[in-house]
Amino acid sequence: MGGHRRFDDDDDEELTGDEDFRGSFREDLERTLNMETWAEGLDLQVIMERYRQEIGGAIQKEDQLRSVIRQELLPRLQTRPGAPEGAGLYQLSMEQLADIHSGLLFAGQVEAVNGFSVTHETLPLDITQLSITAIGYGGTAGTFSQRLFRREVTVDAPDPYQEALSYIEMRQNRSHPGRRGPDSLSRLARRGIRAYAERAILVEKLKAPWRMGQGNPFTHELITGSGYSGLLKASLGVLERLMKNHSRFVFVSARMEDRGFLTMGHALEAGEFVILESMEQAGEDILDGWQYDLEERRLASAFLEKYSHKVVKGLFRASANAPPRVFYAHVDHAHMAACVAIADSMLRPEQGYPMLLDVAETTCRSAFGADGFEGLLQDAYAQADARLQYFNGRTPRR
């Protein structure tokens, strides 16, 4: 590993001040903490009336914003300074939709990769199961799995008493709520390894000319290596092969990120898409926000300089009843990539998300889901005569 790292973990949100609280919730934190303002019991009529007021007001505001974006902002995307090649607003025609369904999707010319992970955490051992499925409408192209066993470093203490104290201190430091340490890095590593494996399978195992993945192809975990030099080098290698040899790809995000862009996306009609920007600025943000060692920074910087301008980010909307989605594609094939994503997403208009990615994840959950995983672990613990004393037995509060 290289130097010290700044950890950016999805599980941890940045702390903000009282003014941010007031701006977000439209009331002072002091009032929220005053127990006299809390309702006693469950008055459904009062609760539902508050919900109707809040939801109605929020939707009305969004409708006004949507109208302004559609009339004033979307027409200017193509001519704004720094717009990438092909930027602008486009509409998928019914003829194009039919051609993509018959000539690409249902003809087996598009294959998708998606994964799923589940982690079992106990005092003696953490076990993570990673599973990935590659699939097309011709059938499953393959299912792959890996298991990671997080063992603690053996304490070399001079006597049993000191050894026990050292283990207690080490485990307490791992779980300290105010610190970022090995556990944060391990969560990054798990996500990074899964993201790497999805892209490696997409590059090395699939045969179809069009390939589909989940999320951002140049995701933060891969461009930083999640704090591991080996993962960084392997990730940049597989991403370079993706860019060189398999540029007909589309990645679609399922997460509620890029909220500003998603606000623009709600101004789209069904079947429309926009090309927004290249990944150049995002790449610079990663380089500036992560503390690499010199060699790692050189590798990441060289890769981004060569390829970040060749991947563009856009938005599409498959249905008026579904939210917009962020997608990523090679600049040379971005328009067709958006059309492929929309065509596959229209098969489930209530979701507005590519069906191939959903089916791949469902296949993973079916074959390697949490229930089966926990069942095998319980059996293994029983055979080790540990029974269930190390199982938490409850899902943590969120």
- Length of the chain measured in residues: 398
Q: pLDDT tens, 301-360?
A: 999 999 999 999 999 999 999 999 999 999 999 999 999 999 999 999 999 999 999 999
Q: How far apart are CA 51 and CA 3, in angstroms?
A: 49
Residue 393 has pLDDT above 70, yes or no: no
The average pLDDT across 201-205 equals 94
Contact of 105 with 203, CB cutoff 8 Å = no
Given 3-state DSSP classes, what are the helix, strand and coil percentages for the chain, each rounded to the nearest 5? 50, 15, 30
The average pLDDT across 243-266 equals 90
Residues 6 or more apart whose Cβ sits within 8 Å of residue 190: 117, 119, 128, 130, 148
Residue 392 has pLDDT above 80, yes or no: no
Domain spans, the chain: 83-151+183-383
Q: Which region among 65-69, 191-195, 287-291 has the lowest average model confidence (pLDDT)?
A: 65-69
Q: How many CB atoms lie within 10 A of CB 322?
A: 17
pLDDT band at 176 (very low <50, low <70, confident <90, very high): low
Residue 167 has pLDDT above 90, yes or no: no
Confidence at residue 8, expressed as pLDDT on a 0 to 100 scale: 40
Q: How far apart are CA 71 and CA 230, in angstroms?
A: 48
Confidence at residue 10, expressed as pLDDT on a 0 to 100 scale: 44
User: Which listed CATH number (3.30.1480, 3.30.2170, 1.20.58, 3.30.70) goes with 83-151+183-383?
Assistant: 3.30.2170
Residue 152 has pLDDT above 50, yes or no: yes
Q: Which region among 92-96, 142-146, 162-166 has the lowest average model confidence (pLDDT)?
A: 162-166
Helices (H) and strands (E) in the chain, counts: 14, 9
